[in-house]
Amino acid sequence: MSAHTSNQALIDYTLHLADSSLIMAQRSSEWCGHGPVLEQDIAITNISLDLLGQARHFYQYAAGLINQSADHTLKPATEDSLAYLRDERAFKNLLLTELPKGDWAQTILKHFFFSVYQSLLYTRLQTVPDKDLAAIAAKSLKEVAYHVKWSSEWVIRLGDGTAESHQRMLTAIEELWPYTGEMFRAADYETGMVDPSTLHAGWLKEVQDVFAEATLPMSSESVYMHVGGKTGLHTENLGYMLAELQYLQRAYPGAEW
């Protein structure tokens, strides 16, 4: 692998991590002011801010890599330009993160699936040779540990709760499970980083343990899995989300608070 190819792969990988955190944060923030109770409204808003902070760190690192690249001739990249001025096909977030928030059960299950994945991924990222990525992962793990605890407690509470909450969790599993496989299928730019397929067994074990306590069934591993987000092929949901997320910067270029 040439130095240029290696550097581009690192940029793409860092953008993938940033995009997934940003889109998950944006989708979760839709609950701000609409949570089922005040305490949980505050909790999910704080989780959204945690994810936004992770995205900022990854975008800042990616911007530095882009600006140092030999063929960089455009104006300097910044965390803002990477978040607000890239088109839909340039985003590399997991499809799971861009799905509509749905009801509370779907939001909780999405956070649980994603947080367990992040916990395993960031734990491994701490050991990669790239010290910047390792440092961001180490810092983020403290937040992700809370995200896993919070979401898993809610999965148990809803799954082993009323007949209504249990049924809503079953519906959430049916809706979201087909989007979990993408987390563990490597894109080309993940070569040489953390092999996501090696996280699958640990993720399944943690999900299975929580589901057992929540009296929820595991979905079949043979279910068709949607992929494409890592390489820029998204659902229609991302386009609508970016139109809202990027409106201010595109309508008023260079606007700052």
Homologous superfamily of domain range 3-251: Ferritin, core subunit, four-helix bundle (1.20.1260.10)
Query: In this structure, what are the phi and psi dihedrals at residue 152, rounded to the nearest 5 degrees?
Result: -65, -35
Q: Provide the pLDDT for residue 222.
A: 83
How do the pLDDT tens digits run along the chain, 257 residues long? 444 457 899 999 999 999 999 999 999 988 777 667 767 778 899 999 999 999 999 999 999 999 987 665 567 899 999 999 999 999 999 999 999 999 999 999 999 999 999 999 999 999 999 999 999 999 999 999 999 999 999 999 999 999 999 999 999 999 999 999 999 999 999 988 999 999 999 999 999 999 999 999 999 878 999 999 999 999 999 999 999 989 888 888 877 76
Write out the DSSP string of 14-73: HHHHHHHHHHHHHHHGGGTTT-SSHHHHHHHHHHHHHHHHHHHHHHHHHHHHHHHSTT--
Q: Which residue type, as a one-letter code, is found at position 217?
A: P
How many residues does the structure list for the chain?
257
Task: Give me 35's structure tokens.
Answer: 């949570």
Q: Which residue type, as a one-letter code, is found at position 204?
A: L
Domain coordinates of the chain in residue numbers? Answer: 3-251
- On whether the CB atoms of residues 52 and 97 are closer than 8 A, the answer is no
Q: Provide the pLDDT for residue 149.
A: 97
Sign of CA dihedral 11, 13, 18, 19: positive
Q: Provide the pLDDT for residue 2.
A: 43
Q: Provide the pLDDT for residue 43.
A: 86
Q: Provide the pLDDT for residue 38.
A: 65
Write out the DSSP string of 80-144: HHHHHSS-GGG----HHHHS---SHHHHHHHHHHHHHHHHHHHHHHTTSS-HHHHHHHHHHHHHH
Contacts of residue 137, Cβ cutoff 8 Å, sequence gap at least 6: 121, 122, 123, 125, 126
- On whether the CB atoms of residues 169 and 105 are closer than 8 A, the answer is yes
